[in-house]
Chain A
Amino acid sequence: MSPFSVDHKDFDNRIRLQTYFYFVEKGTAPTSRQLADTLFSTPAGIKDSFQRLANAHIFVLKPESGEIWMAMPFSAIKTQHRVSVGGRKYYANCAWDSLGIPSLRCPHAPGGSDALIRSRCEDCGEPIELEVKNGQVHGSGEVIHFAVPAAKWWDDIGFT
Protein backbone atom coordinates (compact mmCIF):
# COMPACT_ATOMS: atom_id res chain seq x y z
CA MET A 1 0.00 0.00 0.00
CA SER A 2 1.41 3.42 -0.91
CA PRO A 3 1.73 6.05 1.86
CA PHE A 4 -1.20 7.87 0.26
CA SER A 5 -3.54 4.89 0.04
CA VAL A 6 -6.45 4.78 2.40
CA ASP A 7 -7.81 1.55 3.80
CA HIS A 8 -11.57 1.96 3.59
CA LYS A 9 -12.40 -1.40 5.09
CA ASP A 10 -13.28 -0.28 8.61
CA PHE A 11 -15.13 2.80 7.42
CA ASP A 12 -17.15 0.79 4.90
CA ASN A 13 -18.01 -1.77 7.54
CA ARG A 14 -19.33 1.02 9.77
CA ILE A 15 -21.43 2.32 6.89
CA ARG A 16 -22.71 -1.21 6.27
CA LEU A 17 -23.71 -1.74 9.89
CA GLN A 18 -25.23 1.73 10.35
CA THR A 19 -27.28 1.15 7.23
CA TYR A 20 -28.57 -2.19 8.49
CA PHE A 21 -29.39 -0.81 11.94
CA TYR A 22 -31.20 2.11 10.32
CA PHE A 23 -33.20 -0.33 8.18
CA VAL A 24 -34.13 -2.43 11.23
CA GLU A 25 -35.24 0.68 13.12
CA LYS A 26 -36.94 2.70 10.37
CA GLY A 27 -37.87 0.17 7.68
CA THR A 28 -36.00 2.04 4.96
CA ALA A 29 -32.48 3.07 3.98
CA PRO A 30 -30.63 6.04 5.40
CA THR A 31 -29.60 8.70 2.91
CA SER A 32 -25.97 9.61 2.40
CA ARG A 33 -26.69 12.91 4.15
CA GLN A 34 -28.18 11.21 7.20
CA LEU A 35 -25.18 8.89 7.52
CA ALA A 36 -22.79 11.80 6.99
CA ASP A 37 -24.36 13.60 9.96
CA THR A 38 -24.15 10.48 12.14
CA LEU A 39 -20.62 9.50 11.19
CA PHE A 40 -19.04 12.98 10.94
CA SER A 41 -18.39 12.54 7.23
CA THR A 42 -19.67 14.18 4.06
CA PRO A 43 -22.44 12.96 1.73
CA ALA A 44 -19.80 12.55 -1.00
CA GLY A 45 -17.62 10.46 1.31
CA ILE A 46 -20.61 8.29 2.23
CA LYS A 47 -21.57 7.86 -1.43
CA ASP A 48 -18.03 6.74 -2.24
CA SER A 49 -18.43 4.11 0.46
CA PHE A 50 -21.86 3.09 -0.92
CA GLN A 51 -20.21 2.61 -4.30
CA ARG A 52 -17.42 0.43 -2.88
CA LEU A 53 -20.04 -1.66 -1.06
CA ALA A 54 -22.03 -1.94 -4.27
CA ASN A 55 -18.93 -2.99 -6.19
CA ALA A 56 -18.50 -5.74 -3.60
CA HIS A 57 -22.16 -6.83 -4.13
CA ILE A 58 -23.09 -5.91 -0.56
CA PHE A 59 -25.45 -3.04 -1.50
CA VAL A 60 -27.32 -2.21 -4.69
CA LEU A 61 -27.65 1.50 -5.48
CA LYS A 62 -30.34 3.51 -7.21
CA PRO A 63 -28.81 4.34 -10.61
CA GLU A 64 -30.26 7.84 -10.70
CA SER A 65 -29.04 8.99 -7.30
CA GLY A 66 -26.33 6.67 -5.98
CA GLU A 67 -28.40 6.20 -2.82
CA ILE A 68 -29.22 2.75 -1.42
CA TRP A 69 -31.78 0.61 -3.21
CA MET A 70 -31.04 -2.75 -1.61
CA ALA A 71 -29.11 -3.79 1.47
CA MET A 72 -30.10 -7.41 1.16
CA PRO A 73 -32.55 -8.61 2.44
CA PHE A 74 -34.04 -5.10 2.80
CA SER A 75 -35.40 -2.96 -0.02
CA ALA A 76 -35.56 0.82 0.22
CA ILE A 77 -38.33 0.91 -2.36
CA LYS A 78 -41.81 -0.60 -2.12
CA THR A 79 -42.10 -4.16 -3.39
CA GLN A 80 -44.78 -6.83 -3.39
CA HIS A 81 -42.96 -8.61 -0.53
CA ARG A 82 -44.00 -7.02 2.77
CA VAL A 83 -42.69 -8.27 6.08
CA SER A 84 -43.95 -7.28 9.54
CA VAL A 85 -41.72 -7.94 12.52
CA GLY A 86 -42.54 -6.72 16.01
CA GLY A 87 -44.82 -3.94 14.77
CA ARG A 88 -42.28 -2.74 12.22
CA LYS A 89 -42.83 -3.04 8.48
CA TYR A 90 -40.24 -3.78 5.83
CA TYR A 91 -40.03 -4.40 2.12
CA ALA A 92 -37.95 -7.34 0.88
CA ASN A 93 -36.34 -7.63 -2.55
CA CYS A 94 -37.68 -11.08 -3.36
CA ALA A 95 -39.25 -14.20 -1.87
CA TRP A 96 -35.92 -15.39 -0.45
CA ASP A 97 -35.25 -12.01 1.12
CA SER A 98 -38.70 -11.89 2.68
CA LEU A 99 -37.67 -15.02 4.59
CA GLY A 100 -34.29 -13.41 5.20
CA ILE A 101 -35.65 -10.50 7.24
CA PRO A 102 -36.96 -12.68 10.12
CA SER A 103 -33.73 -14.73 9.86
CA LEU A 104 -31.56 -11.77 10.92
CA ARG A 105 -30.22 -12.27 14.41
CA CYS A 106 -29.78 -9.23 16.58
CA PRO A 107 -29.47 -8.68 20.36
CA HIS A 108 -33.24 -8.50 20.88
CA ALA A 109 -33.90 -11.53 18.60
CA PRO A 110 -30.90 -13.88 18.90
CA GLY A 111 -32.79 -16.76 17.30
CA GLY A 112 -34.45 -14.67 14.61
CA SER A 113 -37.88 -13.06 14.80
CA ASP A 114 -41.51 -14.03 14.49
CA ALA A 115 -42.94 -12.36 11.40
CA LEU A 116 -45.85 -12.04 9.04
CA ILE A 117 -44.99 -12.10 5.33
CA ARG A 118 -47.47 -10.83 2.77
CA SER A 119 -46.89 -11.24 -0.94
CA ARG A 120 -48.73 -12.63 -3.95
CA CYS A 121 -48.70 -15.56 -6.33
CA GLU A 122 -46.88 -14.24 -9.38
CA ASP A 123 -49.06 -16.37 -11.66
CA CYS A 124 -52.61 -15.66 -10.47
CA GLY A 125 -52.08 -12.62 -8.25
CA GLU A 126 -53.80 -14.23 -5.25
CA PRO A 127 -52.46 -12.92 -1.93
CA ILE A 128 -49.98 -15.09 -0.08
CA GLU A 129 -49.64 -14.86 3.67
CA LEU A 130 -46.96 -16.71 5.59
CA GLU A 131 -46.23 -16.77 9.28
CA VAL A 132 -42.85 -17.26 10.90
CA LYS A 133 -43.26 -18.40 14.47
CA ASN A 134 -40.81 -19.97 16.92
CA GLY A 135 -38.25 -20.57 14.19
CA GLN A 136 -40.63 -22.24 11.72
CA VAL A 137 -42.37 -20.96 8.60
CA HIS A 138 -46.05 -21.72 8.12
CA GLY A 139 -47.93 -21.45 4.84
CA SER A 140 -50.35 -23.39 2.65
CA GLY A 141 -48.05 -25.32 0.35
CA GLU A 142 -46.62 -22.29 -1.46
CA VAL A 143 -43.35 -22.62 -3.40
CA ILE A 144 -40.51 -20.31 -4.40
CA HIS A 145 -39.24 -20.19 -7.96
CA PHE A 146 -35.68 -19.21 -8.83
CA ALA A 147 -35.73 -18.24 -12.50
CA VAL A 148 -32.02 -17.55 -12.94
CA PRO A 149 -29.12 -19.94 -12.22
CA ALA A 150 -26.97 -18.93 -9.25
CA ALA A 151 -23.92 -18.03 -11.35
CA LYS A 152 -25.95 -15.38 -13.20
CA TRP A 153 -27.76 -13.66 -10.33
CA TRP A 154 -25.58 -10.58 -10.54
CA ASP A 155 -26.09 -10.16 -14.29
CA ASP A 156 -29.37 -8.46 -13.30
CA ILE A 157 -29.92 -8.54 -9.56
CA GLY A 158 -33.36 -6.95 -10.01
CA PHE A 159 -34.52 -10.11 -11.80
CA THR A 160 -33.53 -13.42 -10.27
Chain B
Amino acid sequence: MLFFRSEEHVNNWCRKKKIDKGAVFSLEQGWQLAQQWYHDRLDLRWRRKTTDEAQQLFETIGLTGDFWKLAAQSVSE
Protein backbone atom coordinates (compact mmCIF):
# COMPACT_ATOMS: atom_id res chain seq x y z
CA MET B 1 0.00 0.00 0.00
CA LEU B 2 1.79 3.04 -1.29
CA PHE B 3 1.30 6.80 -1.48
CA PHE B 4 0.98 8.62 -4.79
CA ARG B 5 0.56 12.31 -5.50
CA SER B 6 -2.58 11.61 -7.55
CA GLU B 7 -4.43 8.84 -9.38
CA GLU B 8 -2.58 9.85 -12.54
CA HIS B 9 0.66 8.92 -10.81
CA VAL B 10 -0.87 5.54 -9.88
CA ASN B 11 -1.71 4.97 -13.56
CA ASN B 12 1.84 5.92 -14.63
CA TRP B 13 3.39 3.62 -12.05
CA CYS B 14 1.19 0.64 -12.95
CA ARG B 15 2.05 1.15 -16.62
CA LYS B 16 5.78 1.39 -15.92
CA LYS B 17 5.77 -1.60 -13.59
CA LYS B 18 3.41 -3.58 -15.83
CA ILE B 19 1.12 -4.43 -12.94
CA ASP B 20 -2.65 -4.32 -12.76
CA LYS B 21 -4.13 -1.31 -11.08
CA GLY B 22 -5.65 -2.24 -7.72
CA ALA B 23 -7.80 -0.05 -5.47
CA VAL B 24 -7.22 3.68 -5.08
CA PHE B 25 -8.17 5.48 -1.88
CA SER B 26 -8.36 9.10 -0.87
CA LEU B 27 -6.39 10.07 2.22
CA GLU B 28 -9.65 10.47 4.11
CA GLN B 29 -10.74 6.92 3.28
CA GLY B 30 -7.32 5.61 4.26
CA TRP B 31 -7.51 7.53 7.52
CA GLN B 32 -10.95 6.12 8.26
CA LEU B 33 -9.76 2.59 7.56
CA ALA B 34 -6.60 3.03 9.65
CA GLN B 35 -8.56 4.38 12.60
CA GLN B 36 -11.11 1.61 12.58
CA TRP B 37 -8.45 -1.04 12.09
CA TYR B 38 -5.86 0.12 14.57
CA HIS B 39 -7.53 2.19 17.28
CA ASP B 40 -7.72 -0.68 19.80
CA ARG B 41 -4.44 -2.45 19.02
CA LEU B 42 -2.89 -1.48 22.38
CA ASP B 43 -5.82 -2.79 24.40
CA LEU B 44 -5.24 -5.74 26.70
CA ARG B 45 -8.31 -7.48 25.28
CA TRP B 46 -7.53 -6.86 21.59
CA ARG B 47 -7.85 -9.90 19.35
CA ARG B 48 -7.63 -10.38 15.62
CA LYS B 49 -10.77 -9.75 13.72
CA THR B 50 -12.58 -12.70 12.24
CA THR B 51 -13.15 -12.71 8.50
CA ASP B 52 -16.75 -11.66 9.01
CA GLU B 53 -15.78 -8.79 11.31
CA ALA B 54 -13.12 -7.55 8.92
CA GLN B 55 -15.47 -7.84 5.96
CA GLN B 56 -18.12 -5.90 7.86
CA LEU B 57 -15.60 -3.19 8.71
CA PHE B 58 -14.65 -2.87 5.04
CA GLU B 59 -18.29 -2.59 4.09
CA THR B 60 -19.07 0.11 6.65
CA ILE B 61 -16.52 2.36 4.99
CA GLY B 62 -17.65 1.52 1.48
CA LEU B 63 -15.01 -1.07 0.56
CA THR B 64 -17.10 -3.54 -1.37
CA GLY B 65 -16.62 -5.67 -4.47
CA ASP B 66 -14.31 -8.54 -5.33
CA PHE B 67 -11.12 -6.63 -4.47
CA TRP B 68 -12.19 -6.43 -0.82
CA LYS B 69 -13.61 -9.92 -0.52
CA LEU B 70 -11.71 -11.91 2.11
CA ALA B 71 -10.87 -15.58 2.01
CA ALA B 72 -12.44 -17.97 4.51
CA GLN B 73 -9.81 -17.31 7.17
CA SER B 74 -9.35 -14.51 9.65
CA VAL B 75 -7.18 -11.66 8.50
CA SER B 76 -4.91 -8.96 9.64
CA GLU B 77 -3.42 -6.10 7.72
Contact = CB atoms under 8 A, between A and B. Distances in A.
A9 B20 CA distance: 40
A139 B27 contact: yes
B62 interface: no
Contacts of B71: 151
For chain A, what secondary structure do more than half of its interface residues adopt (helix, strand, loop), or is it mixed? mixed
A6 interface: no
Q: Please classify how large the interface on chain B is, using the bins under 10, 10 to 19, 20 to 34, 35 or more.
A: 35 or more
Contacts of B68: 149-150
A147 B22 contact: yes
Contact of B3 (A56, A95, A101, A154): A95
B3 A120 contact: yes
B67 A105 contact: no
Given A144-B25, A149-B22, A150-B68, A121 B9 contact: yes
Interface of B: 1-7, 9-10, 12-13, 16, 19-31, 33-35, 37-42, 44, 48, 58, 66-71, 74-77
A122 B7 CA distance: 12
A83 B31 CA distance: 14
A56 B66 CA distance: 24
A73 B28 CA distance: 18
A104 B22 contact: no
Given A24-B42, A57-B48, A137-B27, A150 B75 contact: yes
Q: Which of A81, A112, A142 has the most CB of B within 10 A?
A: A142
A106 B4 contact: no
Contacts of A57: 48, 74-76
